[in-house]
């Protein structure tokens, strides 16, 4: 609508014409009505690509590290806000879960894996870090829409902060696991403990990269968050947590597909945690023994292989390959995130 059309429309309603507010860069007259419509026109502009390089974006994230720490602390505090026990719930929840696993699977058994509750818990801990980090990262930008529209800061901090808060709760769960290993007299494989640091870093990089991609996609397609929740339920069963890796390995090796199973980014991390903490690759055969002198009968158990019978270097090689792929995915995620973040405020 031109200024003359708006004046005619205003006159038809019995009002005075709209005064001119000046002229634009091309010399055309502008009214206050034009100025009122300018914010709406500005909101319709779409940014196609960011001009900042990856190095510059990384520098911006590092420069805003205080904000990252603040958001991580906020995520941690909000989790148990106004609760009487506060952060103790971070230890009570996994402790209760481990107790339930122990008594349930001691009574019904599970695939014949000795001390199955500990085996399960050593795999659940890294999975919970991945699960909570990825789910939180996916909805982080949408969940902080008010902050995104009002404050200028590196938006990548939002998904990364949720991964950071998941890491905090991961350490609480590790304390419970360490106590459980001591109570049940389990000795970890000390030679493999340094690999846990590499496995943890690899998992954090992959979760941060994947979460960054999904958080950007979720801004434009809000069903992504619900799709991720469903996909993660299926993903859980593709990892040797409730069953041993050796349950799948013989079937996969027939078709030379073991490498495909290990290509699952979370599988090598879980196997590393199980090898370092559960530590039992083999369980020897146990002969049946009848009950005597008040002692219960012991059922016979065949020799069992629980974990891959590979050395330290096998785990190191797989983790380094996964870390390299995760770093590449992280750079790709930053490029994609940088190209689409200019329109976040409009979409939110």
Per-residue pLDDT of 256-276, as tens digits, reads 888 888 888 999 999 999 999
108 with 224, same domain: the answer is yes
Residue 126 has pLDDT above 50, yes or no: yes
126 with 264, same domain: the answer is yes
Give residue-wise pLDDT tens across range 48-100: 455 677 888 888 888 888 888 888 888 777 766 655 555 566 666 667 766 77
More confident residue, 295 or 264: 264
157 with 306, same domain: the answer is yes
- Nearest partner of 301 among 99, 102, 115, 104, judged by Cα: 115
- The pTM of the full predicted model, rounded to 2 decimals, is 0.75
Tell me the average pLDDT across 135-157: 85
Contact, 247 vs 111, CB < 8 A? yes
Residue 16 has pLDDT above 70, yes or no: no
In-domain check, residue 346: no
**Residues with Cβ within 8 Å of residue 52, at least 6 apart in sequence:** 60, 338
Tell me the average pLDDT across 300-325: 85
Tell me the average pLDDT across 236-241: 89
Question: How many structural domains is the chain composed of?
Answer: 2
Residue 113 has pLDDT above 90, yes or no: no
C-alpha to C-alpha distance for 27 and 34, rounded to whole angstroms: 14
DSSP state, residue 326: H
Domain coverage including residue 10:
1-43
38 with 87, same domain: the answer is no
111 with 229, same domain: the answer is yes
> How far is residue 1 CA from its own chain's centroid?
49
Would you call 300 helix, strand, or coil by DSSP?
Answer: coil
Q: Which tokens belong to 116?
A: 């199955």
């Amino acid at each position: 609508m031109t200024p003359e059309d708006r004046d005619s429309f205003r006159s038809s309603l019995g009002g005075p014409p709209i005064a001119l507010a000046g002229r634009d860069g091309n010399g055309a007259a502008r009214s206050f009505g034009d100025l009122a419509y300018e914010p709406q026109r500005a909101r319709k502009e779409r940014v196609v690509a960011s001009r900042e390089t990856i190095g510059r974006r990384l520098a911006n994230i590092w420069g805003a590290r205080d904000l990252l720490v603040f958001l991580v602390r906020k995520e941690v505090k909000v989790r148990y806000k106004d609760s009487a026990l506060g952060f103790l719930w971070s230890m009570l929840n996994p402790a209760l879960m481990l107790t339930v696993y122990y008594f349930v699977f001691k009574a019904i058994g599970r695939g014949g894996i000795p001390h199955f509750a500990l085996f399960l818990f050593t795999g659940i801990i890294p999975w919970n870090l991945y699960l909570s980090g990825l789910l939180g990262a996916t909805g982080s930008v949408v969940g902080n829409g008010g902050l995104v529209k009002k404050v200028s800061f590196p938006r990548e901090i939002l998904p990364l902060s949720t991964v950071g808060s998941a890491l905090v709760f991961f350490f609480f769960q590790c304390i419970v696991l360490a106590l459980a290993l001591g109570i049940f007299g389990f000795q970890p494989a000390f030679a493999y403990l340094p690999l846990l640091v590499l496995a943890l870093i690899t998992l954090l990089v992959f979760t941060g990269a994947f979460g960054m991609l999904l958080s950007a996609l979720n801004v434009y397609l809000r069903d992504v968050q619900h799709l991720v929740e469903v996909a993660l339920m299926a993903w859980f069963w593709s990892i040797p947590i409730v069953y041993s890796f050796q349950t799948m390995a013989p079937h996969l090796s027939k078709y030379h597909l073991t490498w495909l199973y290990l290509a699952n980014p979370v599988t090598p991390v879980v196997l590393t945690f199980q090898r370092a903490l559960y530590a039992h690759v083999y369980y020897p055969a146990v002969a049946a023994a009848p009950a005597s002198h008040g002692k219960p009968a012991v059922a016979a158990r065949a020799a069992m292989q629980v974990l891959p019978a590979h050395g330290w270097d096998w785990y190191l090689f797989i983790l380094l390959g996964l870390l390299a792929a995760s770093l590449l995915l992280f750079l790709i995620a930053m490029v994609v995130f940088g190209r689409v973040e200019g329109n976040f405020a409009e979409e939110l």
